[in-house]
Amino acid sequence: MRTERKNIVVLQSGGCTQVINESLWGVVTGSQKYLPSSQVFGALRGVEGLISGSLTNLTNVCDSDWITVRQTPGAALGSTRKKLTDGDVQPLLETLERQHIGYVFLIGGNDTADTTTKISAAGRAAGIPLTAIHVPKTIDNDLVQTDHSPGYGSAARFVALATMGAGQDAISMGQASPITVIEVMGRDAGWLAMASGLGKRSSQDPPHFIGIPEVPICEELFVQIMSKAYTDFGFAVAVVSENCRGTNGILGPKSEPFLVDDFGHAYYEGPGKYLSNLLSRTLSTRVRHEYPGSIQRSFVENTSSPDRSEAELVGLAASKAASEGLTDSMVTLVRSSDSPYQCETGLTPVATVANRVATVPSDYHTPDTNLPTEYFHKYASPLIGSALPEFLRF
């Protein structure tokens, strides 16, 4: 006879964010409220911890430690990019059985949605009653069925401020280094790159070009746009997504990816360096290539207050949904008002999210330069928190 499965496990997966631990806290505190008789375990290194049985008990973590954890970037439990295989299923189910776990919360992005469906299906196939809830998280903002994703607002704020600062540096340095190309994250969608334009208040302000995966970059047009900005303003800044393509495919000399992860995602040598070299050769001037990498998702001083509160909110909503008997769902963010900005939570079948990508709508960016339109500003500005600074030059 099987024991009652009332305990809980929560795990974190994929690329981390500034606010991923707020969602962890939301799940734990929500579970204590809605499922008070359950113990809450954390799986170390995501699904790897479920497979190996590496769990930690989160039930009695003290409030002072949670205050620190909630303000800590990166995944407090450790993350993973492992794809669940058939051989992983049995040891994973044995871990759930051993700890009497009936509720599984997975905090992550597109690939985590896929893992959620697989764990739930494995439980059904084995006759094990499981409640599986996906808690959304990704700085890429590419989850479908939700207005936006926790983690995006803070990373977007970083990119906007970094672009503004890079512009001030370029115009200050003049002929010494007047052009900058910044390469930001965004594997399949250009949401983060688009955020670079949130601080642009005039044609002179950076950026002057944005490269997004949704629109192939014509190298000749790119050079023309950057050359004109350099001529008109004495400096130029471009921001490009890490997986931008050219009109003939991959930008640069290498057609083969340097890495393909477990989920089949290909990673190429960044387009930012290639485009920087192209501008340097064509315009005969120094071009800086900036690549903030993981800093853009871990720089806590730029954390957006709406992002922080919504990350906690989706964790709380996940616990509530589980307590009501709902499963195989992802918590969504539903915008109820633009002015003033208000957002609520909803639910969607997780199967409708897995392996799909939310791309930037065409009316969010202008032709040629891909600079943000008023529609993008209306969408993204509330997500980054307090107003961006204004700069003054003599």
Calculate Rg over the CA atoms of the chain: 22
- Please check whether residues 272 and 247 belong to one and the same domain: yes
- Please check whether residues 165 and 145 belong to one and the same domain: no
- Please check whether residues 295 and 306 belong to one and the same domain: no
pLDDT value, residue 62 = 93
Measured in whole angstroms, the distance separating CA 298 from the mean position of its chain's CA atoms is 11
**Mean pLDDT computed over 38-58:** 96
pLDDT value, residue 2 = 44
Residue 15 lies in a domain: yes
| Locus of tokens 């065409």 | 362
pLDDT band at 1 (very low <50, low <70, confident <90, very high): very low
- Please check whether residues 201 and 261 belong to one and the same domain: yes
Q: How many whole angstroms separate alpha carbon 106 and alpha carbon 24?
A: 9
Give the tokens for residue 31: 């579970």
Give the tokens for residue 122: 């494995």
Question: What is the CA angle 65-67-72, rounded to 5?
Answer: 90
User: Which CATH number covers residue 87?
Assistant: 3.40.50.450
Quote the percentage of the chain above a pLDDT of 70: 95
Residue 340 lies in a domain: yes
pLDDT band at 259 (very low <50, low <70, confident <90, very high): low
**Mean pLDDT computed over 76-92:** 94
- Please check whether residues 343 and 259 belong to one and the same domain: no
| Locus of tokens 């993350």 | 79
- Please check whether residues 136 and 223 belong to one and the same domain: no
Asked if residue 3 has pLDDT above 80, the reply is no
pLDDT value, residue 92 = 96
Residue 164 lies in a domain: yes
**Mean pLDDT computed over 196-201:** 97
pLDDT value, residue 268 = 66
- Please check whether residues 227 and 111 belong to one and the same domain: no
**Strand pairing report for 249-250 and 245-246:** antiparallel
Q: Under 8 Å CB-to-CB from 324, ≥6 apart: which residues?
A: none
- Please check whether residues 161 and 267 belong to one and the same domain: yes
* Residue 174 DSSP one-character state: G
**Mean pLDDT computed over 112-116:** 94
Each residue's pLDDT tens digit, 281-334: 999 999 999 999 999 999 999 999 999 999 999 999 999 999 999 999 999 999
**Mean pLDDT computed over 100-113:** 95
Residues with a catalytic annotation lie at: 140
Asked if residue 118 has pLDDT above 50, the reply is yes
Residue 393 lies in a domain: no
Q: Under 8 Å CB-to-CB from 275, ≥6 apart: which residues?
A: 181, 211, 217, 219, 222, 238, 240, 251
Asked if 43 contacts 88 with a C-beta cutoff of 8 angstroms, the reply is: no
Asked if residue 13 has pLDDT above 80, the reply is yes
- Please check whether residues 146 and 165 belong to one and the same domain: no
- Please check whether residues 130 and 219 belong to one and the same domain: no
pLDDT value, residue 250 = 77
Asked if residue 199 has pLDDT above 60, the reply is yes
Give the tokens for residue 298: 């871990």
Residue 394 lies in a domain: no
- Please check whether residues 172 and 293 belong to one and the same domain: yes
Say whether 67 sits in a helix, a strand or coil: helix
pLDDT value, residue 260 = 72
- Please check whether residues 166 and 240 belong to one and the same domain: yes
Say whether 297 sits in a helix, a strand or coil: helix
Q: How many whole angstroms separate alpha carbon 289 and alpha carbon 305?
A: 30
Query: Which strands form 209-211's sheet, in the order they lie side by side?
Result: 209-211, 236-241, 179-184, 287-290
User: Which CATH number covers residue 243?
Assistant: 3.40.50.460
Residue 389 lies in a domain: no
Residue 53: give the domain boundaries. 7-150+301-352
DSSP letters for 355-377? T---PPPGGGB-TTT--B-HHHH
Give me the number of domains the chain comprises.
2
Mean of all residue pLDDT scores within the chain: 93
Per the model's pLDDT, the better-predicted residue between 339 and 333 turns out to be 333
Residue 134 lies in a domain: yes
**Mean pLDDT computed over 162-183:** 95
Asked if 245 contacts 269 with a C-beta cutoff of 8 angstroms, the reply is: no
Each residue's pLDDT tens digit, 211-232: 999 999 999 999 999 999 999 9
Residue 61 lies in a domain: yes
